[in-house]
Amino acid sequence: MTRALVSLNAGSSSIKFGLYRLDDAGHPHHAAGGKIEGIGTAPHLAARADDGSLAIDRRWDDGAAMTHEDLLGELITWAQGHLGDNRIVGIGHRVVHGGADYASPVRIEDAVMDRLDALSELAPLHQPHNLAAIRAMTKLMPDVPQVACFDTAFHRGRADETTRFALPRAFHDRGLVRYGFHGLSYAFIARELARTAPELVAGRVVVGHLGNGASLCAMRGGKSVDTTMGFTALDGLVMGTRCGTLDAGLVLHLIMHEGMSAEAVETLLYQQSGLLGVSGLSSDMRALHASDGEAARQAVTLFVARAAREIAALCTSMGGIDALVFTAGIGENDSLIRSLICERLGFLGLTLDPAANAANARTISAGDSRIAIMVVPTDEERMIALDTVACLGL
Ligand code: ADP
């Protein structure tokens, strides 16, 4: 193996990354993965090699002024050392919004960046940071091709009734539609199911990506048929700091009668709502479990109730359900949330195996459950690597 790839998933204060060696057939083999956290305060770069050993653990306690570009420079210098003789031949990026233009990964060039910049207002929490990482890498490695891999792409091709808002047609025609997000995660899960449970992937599956951002995807035959996020990643479930589905009339009320500016409403709905807003305590589910306060309990119950309601609703898009799959931080680790959601869905034929659920086992349904219930860890960085290989023809 002489070639390597880097996958980047850049957010406002953290960057997740994966390094992959490519074999002659272009198949990516995981070489290391980790995170840069604390950007803007005290940056911390940590990665584990494929055998699980710590490959780097570096802190800059006085590094508040270090930019994404500075830190990506540190990452690439370390990565080149770690990869040894393997030359980096491609860089893949998670880009949240591909809009109406992009249904599959695309190689970055100036015209592409102009179009992606224009979509930033639709994903203000993510898109500007995704694009900043692309610009930084263009400076750091100008000769290495880069690819944008979109969270919206997996959801393309859905039926009209799952993408259309009940607005006058002209709005739909200019791209005001329900796009859906978390597509890299869903594409990875669909691939995993195809590999390990082909009988399920052929059926009707709801996947719950429950992390700081949270959404559901109804899949049939490994393809998205419906999803809870819409035009932006604000819609659908209760999230760490995002409100999820909201009466549009409430937004009008805040602006027209409570004097809030559009910018203040944006901050409220994206950054101050969800688990954080309801609990008044934290956006982190673990902190809410640890609290015995009433508001924290209400936040957890609201999260669970809305997730269960939307799972049941998605069954109507598939004519039933054969499997429920949990993934992402909460979905993979939080047995209490899984059990509370499944309890509410018992009427559909879901029964958990409590011991398997407590152990975060891959199959957590009881033997007599009519519906399979599974925990499948997601790996968006690997999906980015696979998309990048395909896009660049490596
Ligand atoms: P992001 O959307 O930022 O990638 P994650 O998928 O990491 O988010 O999910 C973050 C959420 O997952 C937090 O609410 C956190 O409490 C929860 N979480 C992460 N790890 C665990 C764990 N081991 N047990 C319970 N919850 C966890």
Give the number of domains in the chain.
Answer: 2
Using the mean position of ligand 1's atoms as its centre, give its distance from the Cα of residue 8 in Å.
19
Report d(CA 374, CA 369) in Å as an integer: 12
Half-sphere exposure of 380 (CA within 13 A, CB side): 27
Spatial distance between the Cα atoms of 220 and 201, rounded to a whole number of angstroms: 7
CA pair distance 139, 380, nearest whole angstrom: 24
Query: What pLDDT is attached to residue 317?
Result: 95
Q: Which amino acid is at 337?
A: I
User: 143 and 215 in one domain?
Assistant: no
* CB-based contact 364:12 (threshold 8 Å): no
**What pLDDT is stored for residue 201 in this prediction?**
86
Same domain, 353 and 272: yes
Question: If you measure from the C-alpha of residue 304 to the centroid of ligand 1, how many angstroms do you get, rounded to a whole number?
Answer: 15
Residue 192 falls inside a structural domain:
no
Residue with token string 């398997």: 356
Do 99 and 219 fall into the same domain?
Answer: no
Residue 208 Cα, ligand 1 centroid: separation in angstroms? 13
Q: What share of the chain is helix, strand, coil (3-state, %, to 5)?
A: 40, 20, 35
pLDDT at 294: 98
Residues 130 and 217 in one domain: no
The verdict on 271 and 331 lying in the same domain is yes
Confidence (pTM): 0.95
- Shared domain for 223 and 331, answered yes or no, is yes
What SS3 state is found at 216?
strand
Best of 184, 275, 333, 375 for a ligand 1 pocket test (most atoms within 8 Å of beta carbon): 333
Would residue 368 show up in a list of annotated catalytic residues for this protein? no
Give every residue of the chain whose pLDDT is below 70, as ranges.
none
Name the helix (H) or strand (E) containing 210.
Answer: strand 204-210
Q: Is position 107 within any domain?
A: yes
Residues 101 and 223 in one domain: no
- Per-residue pLDDT at 126: 87
The catalytic residue among 50, 51, 114, 151 is 151
Burial of residue 389 (number of CB atoms within 10 Å: 0-12, 13-18, 19+): buried
- Angle in degrees, CA 31, 35, 36, rounded to 5: 130
Domain of 111 in residue numbering reads as 3-150
Instruction: Specify if 394 maps to a domain.
Output: no
Tell me whether residue 156 is in a domain: no
- 3-state class of 224 per DSSP? strand
Pocket test for ligand 1, best of 207, 285, 341, 357 (most atoms within 8 A of CB): 285
Choose which residue among 130, 283, 334, 360 to substitute to test ligand 1 binding: the one with the highest number of ligand atoms within 8 A of its C-beta: 334
Give the pLDDT of residue 122: 81
Q: Tokens standing for 122?
A: 């639709």
In a domain, 243, yes or no: yes
Shared domain for 130 and 204, answered yes or no, is no
Report how far ligand 1's centroid is from the alpha carbon of 261 (Å).
32
The CATH number of whichever domain residue 44 belongs to comes to: 3.30.420.40
Ligand 1 geometric centre to CA of 16 (Å): 14
182 in a domain, yes or no?
A: no
**Do residues 11 and 135 both lie within one domain?**
yes
Report if residue 173 sits inside a domain.
no
pLDDT at site 12 = 78
Tell me, what DSSP letter sits at residue 345?
A: T
Q: Which atom of ligand 1 has the smallest separation from the CA of 213?
A: 2
Question: Are both 144 and 206 inside the same structural domain?
Answer: no
Within 6 Å (CB) of ligand 1, which residues are found? 211-213, 240, 284-286, 328-330, 333-334
For residue 352, how far is its CA from the centre of ligand 1 (angstroms)? 21
Please indicate, yes or no, whether residues 203 and 94 belong to a single structural domain of this protein.
Answer: no
Atom of ligand 1 nearest to the CA of 378: 6
| 168 located within any domain | no
| Minimum-distance ligand 1 atom for the alpha carbon of 240 | 14
Same domain? 266 vs 339 = yes
Nearest CA to ligand 1 atom 24: 333
